[in-house]
Amino acid sequence: MFTPKEIDFLKKELNFSVSQVQEKLDEPDIEGAKRYQLEEKLITMVSVVNKLERARPEKDLRNKSVRVLIVDDVDSMRKVHRHYMLSCGFRHIDMAEDGLRAYSLMRKAIAENKPYNLVISDWEMPKVSGLELLRKVRTDKELWKTPFFLITSLGDKAHILQGINTGATGYMVKPINQKIVNQKFKDYLDC
């Protein structure tokens, strides 16, 4: 395992590299395969940074008001997930019915300087899937560090790896229950 000093060093170096790749993606001549290659590199770096954040958080989220965004196209599932999160101790929970609405809410929250500290999204949704939303978040200059958990019925190894390789902080296979929620989010609150 890394020492705290090593973790801090790695985070600093990776954050710098992320910034460089983000700037490169802003260049107008970066298209097609080159753009895709840079986005894949960015997503991998972001995934490593997020793992390092969990190994040594810069700040204790339990001491502040954690803002959660739940994304699911099924209203009853949004309500169930909201209930689990409330029971775990989260108080500031917003919900979105699809990835488009979620991304809009995330951009608005950043603009208002009240970013979400945690996003929990269903994978399989119309318009913009949870995986597409995750990719969009991981390549966004202001949102890329947001912890992002996928919930899905796709529990085979290939799908789990796809989610993690796209930069998911965590992954939950349906059906989920209060015990699973408490275990997954204990680092964010005292569940």
Residue boundaries of the structural domains of the chain: 4-55, 61-184
Helix/strand/coil for 68: strand
Identify the pLDDT of residue 121.
Answer: 98
State the DSSP code for 129: -
Contact 123, 160 (CB under 8 A): no
Identify the pLDDT of residue 57.
Answer: 55
- The pLDDT tens digits of the residues spanning 95-124 come to 999 999 999 999 999 999 999 999 999 999
Name 172's bridge partners.
151
Identify the pLDDT of residue 71.
Answer: 98
CA distance 118 to 2: 25
Contacts of 155 (CB under 8 A, 6+ apart): 173
Identify the pLDDT of residue 50.
Answer: 76
Identify the pLDDT of residue 122.
Answer: 96
CA distance 166 to 133: 10
Residues present in the chain in total = 191
Question: Which residues does the chain have with pLDDT short of 50?
Answer: 60, 63
pTM above 0.85, yes or no: no
Q: What percent of the chain has a predicted confidence (pLDDT) above 90?
A: 43
Q: Tell me, what amino acid is at 37?
A: Q
State the DSSP code for 161: H
Q: Domain 61-184 falls in which CATH fold? A: Rossmann fold (3.40.50)
